[in-house]
Amino acid sequence: MITIFGLEGIPIIKAGDDLGEIIVRAAERMGVGIEDGDVVVVTQKIVSKAEGRLINLDEVRPSSFAEEVARSSGKDPRHVEVILRETHRIVKMRGHVLIMETRHGFVCANAGVDLSNVGGGEASLLPEDPDESARRIRRRIMELTGKDIAVIITDTWGRPWRLGQVDFAIGVAGMKPLKDYRGEKDPFGYELTVTNIAVADELAAAAELAKGKLSGIPAVIIRGYEYPKGDGRAKDMNRQQEDDLFR
Amino acid sequence: MITIFGLEGIPIIKAGDDLGEIIVRAAERMGVGIEDGDVVVVTQKIVSKAEGRLINLDEVRPSSFAEEVARSSGKDPRHVEVILRETHRIVKMRGHVLIMETRHGFVCANAGVDLSNVGGGEASLLPEDPDESARRIRRRIMELTGKDIAVIITDTWGRPWRLGQVDFAIGVAGMKPLKDYRGEKDPFGYELTVTNIAVADELAAAAELAKGKLSGIPAVIIRGYEYPKGDGRAKDMNRQQEDDLFR
């Protein structure tokens, strides 16, 4: 049995806030606490806020290329400028859709630069190193509770071929993001040759169900899932350019 | 709080089996039962088996194109022949990877034709109409229990840009697969313009965590999630060719 708890009562986060402690206190207040083996799933937005990864659009001066892209995409030129600063490579541009490869190696719309849930006139950027952010939150929660846990930081992305968005893992600590079945045999003796499940992404998606977009629940505890132990990173899920058929 | 129960003790499924009844009995034996608002998540493999969607590879005669693709991909020519029969359009072929658009409009490897967990010499095909399969299972469970539930049928697919596979919803009944936030405002007054969460895919991914690939748990109950009510289909999540940037 796996249980998912959405943590209520987490205040608006500001730069410098101690997310680990805020999460532990919220879990205590709800009577849920933190237990060994829990996966703590945290929305990127509050991690970026705590790390001061917000940018005031009034202070952004768009380049001429940003102005050009803004014209064809119908976006704010300052928003486009911030997107381009976070971009390693443009994967696809059409209409208002800008699919970018970020400096972390993630492929997502707008290079993860988002205007929602941050307040007027600001844009949020992805954490500089979301795996390191996850490690930091994990260390703090383990320090406060003495429990051995995993931490996942999530963002909400669209997918090719399929409508709608789901949450993905962009930072991971205390677990491996992939559960590898390759070489194992099914009950009929057939050897699995490709099965390698992205459980960190499945945990991210599961957590979103308890968060919602407007409910003010930016962190979730998943209890009872035996995650693959080890020192993994979300970056381990980035498919390299040369192995990718769609980039 | 959301709870995920993996249903144990489900026997090997054969053509003609009554999946609705088998699921209800398994849930009863575990003391979990079926409650109003449950989401019953069923692996494609047992749906295909119950519907007799298995094909004996010894009875398949490969076309010359199938022989050609088999040579370049290193696959069994009979497997390739079955894949091509299920294919509406070839999206990408390289090495052993065949990304196909199925007749349902899904884009996935091998058009969903799978050799694992079926027994020697057979291949499983996706259900003819997985949304109809989900509706049938839902009707049967509601008839046996009197409870109002949703049903999701899942398959395991890879993703561009990202390593590993996750479970996706290929059949849906009793709910809408997408939760649409477009036009709503965040707590800061910013209007969400694209947010439309593929909750059926998130439920599929969450359920996989309680299934695993070798544990013989092909069905799961998710309890406590308020899914979007309505008469939706998994097909509603297919992005149309003209709106797709990667096909």
**Chain A (214-243) residues lying within 8 Å, Cβ to Cβ, of chain B:** 214, 216, 225, 236-239
Distance CA B54, CA A188 (A): 15
Q: Cβ of B237 and A187 within 8 Å? A: no
Max Cα-Cα span within chain A:
63
- Residue B186 clears pLDDT 90, i.e. is over it: no
Look at residue B217 in the predicted model and tell me its pLDDT.
Answer: 95
Distance CA B239, CA A87 (A): 25
Among B46, B76, B163, which would you mutate to test the A interface (most chain A Cβ atoms within 10 Å of its Cβ)? B163
- Within 8 A of A5 by CB-CB distance, chain B residues are 1
Which sequence spans correspond to the domains of chain B? 3-52+128-237, 55-123
Superfamily (CATH H level) for A3-52+126-237: CofE-like (3.30.1330.100)
Token pair belonging to A97: 């859709």
Distance CA A209, CA B227 (A): 9
- Residue A130 clears pLDDT 90, i.e. is over it: yes
pLDDT single digits (tens) A151-167: 999 999 999 999 999 99
Please give the full DSSP string across B36-51, using - where no structure is assigned. TT-EEEEEHHHHHHHT
pLDDT range class, residue B119, cuts 50, 70, 90: confident
- Within 8 A of B197 by CB-CB distance, chain A residues are 156, 164-166, 208, 213
Contact B43, B218 (CB under 8 A): yes
- Within 8 A of B178 by CB-CB distance, chain A residues are 163-164
Look at residue B213 in the predicted model and tell me its pLDDT.
Answer: 75
- Residue B247 clears pLDDT 90, i.e. is over it: no
**Chain B (146-205) residues lying within 8 Å, Cβ to Cβ, of chain A:** 156, 158-168, 177-178, 181, 184-190, 192, 194-199, 201-203, 205
Average pLDDT of the segment spanning B140-148: 98
Instruction: Return the minimum-mean-pLDDT range out of B105-114, B177-186, B212-221.
Output: B212-221
Q: What is the mean pLDDT of chain B?
A: 95
Closest CA to A207 of A3, A1, A62, A55: A3
Fold entry, domain B3-52+128-237? 60s Ribosomal Protein L30; Chain: A; (3.30.1330)
Please give the full DSSP string across B124-169, using - where no structure is assigned. EPPPSSHHHHHHHHHHHHHHHH----EEEEEEEEEETTEEEEEEEE
Contact A6, A229 (CB under 8 A): no
Q: What is the mean pLDDT of chain A?
A: 95
pLDDT single digits (tens) A164-184: 999 999 999 999 999 999 999
- Within 8 A of B206 by CB-CB distance, chain A residues are 2, 4, 202, 205-206, 209
Average pLDDT of the segment spanning A216-226: 96
- Residue B161 clears pLDDT 80, i.e. is over it: yes
Look at residue B66 in the predicted model and tell me its pLDDT.
Answer: 97
Q: What residue has token string 């469970």?
A: B141
Instruction: Return the minimum-mean-pLDDT range out of B42-51, B140-149, B180-189.
Output: B180-189
- Residue A119 clears pLDDT 80, i.e. is over it: no
- Residue B179 clears pLDDT 90, i.e. is over it: yes
More confident residue, B166 or B116: B166
Distances (CA, A) of B232 to A161, A206, A234, B178: 18, 20, 33, 9
The answer to whether residue B14 neighbours chain A at the CB level (below 8 Å) is no
More confident residue, B120 or A53: A53
pLDDT single digits (tens) A11-36: 999 999 999 999 999 999 999 999 99
The residues near B134 (Cβ < 8 Å, ≥ 6 apart) are B42, B151, B152, B153, B171, B172, B173, B174, B234
Look at residue B188 in the predicted model and tell me its pLDDT.
Answer: 83
- Residue B189 clears pLDDT 90, i.e. is over it: no
Angle at the Cα of A13 from the Cα atoms of A209 and B191, rounded to 5 degrees: 60
User: Which ipTM score applies to this complex?
Assistant: 0.96
pLDDT single digits (tens) A68-117: 999 999 999 999 999 999 999 999 999 999 999 999 999 999 999 998 87
Token pair belonging to A200: 């960190």
pLDDT range class, residue A193, cuts 50, 70, 90: confident
- Within 8 A of A189 by CB-CB distance, chain B residues are 120
Average pLDDT of the segment spanning A226-242: 95
The whole-angstrom distance between B180's CA and the closest CA on chain A is: 9
Look at residue A32 in the predicted model and tell me its pLDDT.
Answer: 97
Average pLDDT of the segment spanning B138-159: 98
- Within 8 A of B97 by CB-CB distance, chain A residues are 245
- Within 8 A of A156 by CB-CB distance, chain B residues are 195, 197
> What one-letter code names the amino acid at A40?
V
The whole-angstrom distance between A239's CA and the closest CA on chain B is: 5
Residue in chain B lying closest to A116 (CA): B190
Distance CA A178, CA A199 (A): 6
Say which of A156, A162, A198 has its CB closest to residue B237.
A162
Residue in chain B lying closest to A181 (CA): B213
- Within 8 A of A221 by CB-CB distance, chain B residues are none
Say which of A164, A197, A210 has its CB closest to residue B166.
A197
| Burial (CB count within 10 angstroms: exposed 0-12, middle 13-18, buried 19+), residue A247 | middle
Token pair belonging to B123: 């291949």
- Residue B171 clears pLDDT 80, i.e. is over it: yes
Among A117, A209, A217, which would you mutate to test the B interface (most chain B Cβ atoms within 10 Å of its Cβ)? A209
Average pLDDT of the segment spanning B151-156: 98
pLDDT range class, residue A187, cuts 50, 70, 90: confident
Look at residue B146 in the predicted model and tell me its pLDDT.
Answer: 98
Q: Cβ of B187 and A94 within 8 Å? A: no
Q: Which CATH number fits domain B55-123: 1.10.3470.10, 3.90.1660.10, 3.40.50.2300, 3.20.20.120?
A: 3.90.1660.10
**Chain A (41-80) residues lying within 8 Å, Cβ to Cβ, of chain B:** none
